[in-house]
Amino acid sequence: MSTNFGDYEAITKTVQHYIDGAISGKSDEMRLAFHPGATMFGYNGPDLMAVPIEELFNWHNQNGAAGGLKWHIASIDIEETAASVRLELDNWTGHRFTDFFTLLKVEGEWKIINKTFHSHH
């Protein structure tokens, strides 16, 4: 199996679900990007977060739509069935983040299995 442009397009589409959900405020749209067992790691101030991805959806439901969100996929790296994505986000309801996603091709679909983030202050 080799990496092809179809994999880049499919991964971009997966990340787009995350972005569209952020902008719309609908975690159900965002949820489409993630494997149900996905995890999230990062610092919320000085506190380490190491939680199931459901915590992201709960936060997003409380935080609301990020209508002014600006974003850029900085990199996509693929090796057959595994991939990583670096996503830069600005003005997520006033916050700036760098997200690092690990993706796995599960039953032919790319799913985010881990989100590690950096919150810029």
27's CB contacts (< 8 A; 6+ apart) are: 21, 56, 57, 58, 60, 61
Give the model confidence (pLDDT) of 85-110 as tens digits: 999 999 998 899 999 999 999 999 99
Let me know: does 6 contact 84? Beta carbons within 8 Å. Answer: no
Whole-number pLDDT of residue 81: 95
Name the domain count of the chain: 1
Instruction: Tell me the residue range of the domain where 17 lies.
Output: 5-120
Give the model confidence (pLDDT) of 27-78 as tens digits: 999 999 999 999 999 998 899 999 999 999 999 999 889 999 999 999 999 9
CATH number, position 80: 3.10.450.50
Let me know: does 33 contact 22? Beta carbons within 8 Å. Answer: no
Whether the per-residue pLDDT at 1 is higher than 70: the answer is no
Centre a 10 Å sphere on the Cβ of residue 20 and count the other Cβ atoms it contains. Answer: 15
